[in-house]
Amino acid sequence: MAVGRDPVPALMRPEYAASMNRSWIWLQLVIGWLPVWALFSLMIYVAHGGHLGEAMLVSLRMMVLAALLGVLVHRLSGSVPWPYPFQLRFVAIHIAAAGLFAALWFLLNTLVESLLHWRWVSSLGPGLLPYLITGVWLYVMIAGVAYATRAAERRAELKALEARSQLAALRAQLQPHFLFNALHTVVQLIPSDPRAATRAAEQLADALRCVVQEQRDQLPLADEWAFVQRYLAIEAIRYGDRLQLSTDIAPEALEAELPSFALQTLVENALRHAVAPRVETTTLCVSAKMSGGRLQLTVSDDGPGASEEQLKRGVGTGLQRLRERLHWLYGGSASLRLERAEGGGLQATLNIDQNAAASAPERLDDA
């Protein structure tokens, strides 16, 4: 299993979420200023008469200046975070900033109107006090949107951290689970076939080196299949002729993405519940194909099968952990289905939308 890029869906990355939120900030600002511009245009038209188009143009200049000052307000919201618990100092800072915003807005509007008319024009409108009150109201609106947006960013970052932590925990649970089962194989061979136990221990060391070094949560099926072949080589020493392997993996499926150790979990579950309890030969079938942009990976056996109760609860803890990882990585764009195979046995089918895999690819910074 090759070691490479970092793991974790792009959508879960805090920096990705932050960049998306920054894009949304500007879109929200544009959309948010439109009704304010319309309201100011109507107010100027009603108060001063004249042409509606001229009122809209004056209002547009006023809103553009307010929006430019709003950039400073947004930066201030980053420098003065919302306090927990609430503090009077926070209120005092914003009262002073609101007054300064209103005064600067008045002065800038006056300067712009004076430059456009080539003479000093006092842009008071209905009067200085209503003008300043309007400026304070605009400040409160901008600051409110800025703090709400930053709160949304924090929630996105916390959600990303939760997802990374959950994936790391599931991976941490998976590795000891694999180690325990593989060591059990070696231990069983020691009294009956020490040479085979030695070979199995050497192969296990190679496999464990891959497990320890592998940090991706998502990888190509080709890498996963290479690791599973090592794992099956260890188990073949233990089971001998009791284990037969049949494969049907389409070449295009080898490039598809899936969670790391997903195929190994399905194979391990089949060995534990189908091969281990029997003395008869059990055939394990691994197949993979692409269908409509989705990877369909199937592991089936002709063993004793599973009861309805086992099917409902997912047979083993390994499969439950795999389902949880599918949820964190892909949401509803992936599924794991267990059912009785034709002619007996159990069939596990993993279905992953590759568009979801591409939008949540392997590159999560270490938590």
d(CA 154, CA 129): 37
Q: Report how far residue 172's alpha carbon sits from residue 166's, in angstroms, rounded to the nearest whole number.
A: 10
pLDDT value of residue 335: 92
**β-sheet bridge partners, residue 346:** 340
Got the DSSP string for 7-25? PS-GGG-HHHHHHHHHHHH
User: Residue ranges per domain, the chain?
Assistant: 10-157, 166-359
**Tens digits of per-residue pLDDT, 128-184?**
777 788 888 889 888 888 888 777 777 766 566 555 655 555 555 445 556 666 677
pLDDT at 11: 40
- Say if residue 315's pLDDT is above 60: no
CA-CA distance, 4 to 144, in Å (whole number)? Answer: 43
- Span 166-359 CATH architecture: 2-Layer Sandwich (3.30)
pLDDT at 77 over 90: no
State the pLDDT confidence band at 367, using cuts at 50, 70 and 90: very low
Tell me what the mean pLDDT of segment 244-270 comes to.
Answer: 91
Report how far residue 212's alpha carbon sits from residue 186's, in angstroms, rounded to the nearest whole number. Answer: 19
Q: Is the pLDDT of residue 79 over 70?
A: yes
User: Which residues make Cβ contacts (< 8 Å) with residue 314, sequence separation at least 6?
Assistant: 320, 323, 338
Q: Give tens-digit pLDDT for 333-344.
A: 899 998 887 777
Task: Label residue 363 by pLDDT band (50, 70, 90).
Answer: very low
Give the per-residue pLDDT at 161.
53
> Where is mean pLDDT largest: 91-100, 197-206, 313-322, 323-332?
91-100
pLDDT at 365 over 60: no
Take residue 65 and report the two structure tokens written for it. 């200046």
Q: Are 97 and 139 in contact (CB under 8 A)?
A: yes
What percent of the chain clears pLDDT 70, i.e. is strictly above it? 71
Q: What is the average per-residue pLDDT within 200-213?
A: 69
| Single-letter amino acid, residue 35 | P
Residue 286's pLDDT band, with cuts at 50, 70 and 90, is very high
Angstrom CA distances, 57 to 29, 52, 111, 125, stand at 19, 9, 16, 15
- Would you say the pTM of this structure is higher than 0.85? no
Average pLDDT, the chain: 76
At 15-40, the pLDDT tens digits run: 444 444 455 555 655 666 677 777 77
